[in-house]
Amino acid sequence: MENEQKGIPLLGDKFPDMKVVTTRGMINLPEDMKGKWFVLFSHPADFTPVCTTEFVAFQQRYEKFKALNTELIGLSVDQVFSHIKWEEWIKEKIGVEIQFPIIADTGAVAQKLGLVHPGKGTNTVRAVFIVDAEGIIRIMFYYPQELGRNMDEILRAVEAMQVADKNKVAMPAQWPNGELFGKRVIIPPATDVETARKRLEGAKTGEYECLDWWLCHKEL
């Protein structure tokens, strides 16, 4: 029998069911996160320079993620005692206490999520999965081992998707500090002639503003 093929899941897929060992005990994903968003991010290894800066940066924004009803979950192919010792080192040397769980992966999770780069041995790449309150993968980022992540962008992405879902709108580049529209959001383009006509009429009433029927924006 052929081995089941493992690879990167797709946007819109349900996050794969898995029971994982973490520094905060056993967690069933995505079941235990139901009703809240979570950001699962993998790192190549404990006790490595770039990963250390990333964990400090994530922890310093942890309260902001929690304010968005979002949990952080780290992951690498390291044993749980390695994670614990690394957390202790970060607290002792840098003065930051890591408060979110870190998955101790045997390799099974990394294989299921497509986190192992063929040319990098058994180390996981720097991947980020943003998963919504229904357990659906909404955003994925992948970074090479040499490049640390921008946590403010990950935080922005979570907030932007939540705003988009709540208001049925799209989010412009650089939101909420966009060069064109600032904090304003984009109304999804019309997909039929009648809606296109009404868009321009709606712009006349001040409900929103349009550069054309296919590019309309408004305040929330």
Task: State the span(s) of the chain assigned CATH 3.40.30.10.
Answer: 18-149
144-154 pLDDT, tens digit each: 888 999 999 99
Given pLDDT bands bounded at 50, 70 and 90, which one contains residue 97?
A: very high
What is residue 118's predicted lDDT score, i.e. its pLDDT? 66
CATH architecture group of domain 18-149: 3-Layer(aba) Sandwich (3.40)
From the CB of residue 166, how many other CB atoms can be counted at a distance below 10 Å?
Answer: 9
Q: Per-residue pLDDT averaged across 69-77, rounded?
A: 96
* 4 has a pLDDT exceeding 70: no
51 is catalytic: yes
161-215 pLDDT, tens digit each: 999 999 999 999 999 999 999 999 999 988 899 888 888 887 888 888 999 889 9
Those residues with Cβ within 8 angstroms of residue 52's Cβ, 6 or more apart along the chain or in another chain: 86, 90, 94
What is residue 207's predicted lDDT score, i.e. its pLDDT? 84
What is residue 2's predicted lDDT score, i.e. its pLDDT? 39
11-21 pLDDT, tens digit each: 999 999 999 99
Given a contact cutoff of 8 angstroms between Cβ atoms, the answer to whether 141 and 158 are in contact is no
Q: Per-residue pLDDT averaged across 105-109, rounded?
A: 88
Write out the H or E segment, with its range, that includes residue 217. strand 215-218
* 23 has a pLDDT exceeding 60: yes
CA-to-CA distance for 23 and 75, rounded, in angstroms?
Answer: 10
What is residue 51's predicted lDDT score, i.e. its pLDDT? 95
What is residue 111's predicted lDDT score, i.e. its pLDDT? 85
* 140 has a pLDDT exceeding 60: yes
CA-nearest of 98, 92, 106 to 23 is: 98
Length of the chain: 220
Task: State the span(s) of the chain assigned CATH 3.30.1020.10.
Answer: 168-220
Among 33, 39, 40, 51, the one annotated catalytic: 51
The overall average pLDDT reported for the chain is 91
Beta sheet of 209-212, edge-to-edge order = 185-187, 215-218, 209-212
* 62 has a pLDDT exceeding 50: yes
CA-to-CA distance for 30 and 19, rounded, in angstroms?
Answer: 9
Write out the H or E segment, with its range, that includes residue 66. helix 62-67
Query: What is the reported pTM?
Result: 0.91
What is residue 117's predicted lDDT score, i.e. its pLDDT? 67
Domain 168-220 has CATH 3.30.70.20: no
What is residue 219's predicted lDDT score, i.e. its pLDDT? 94
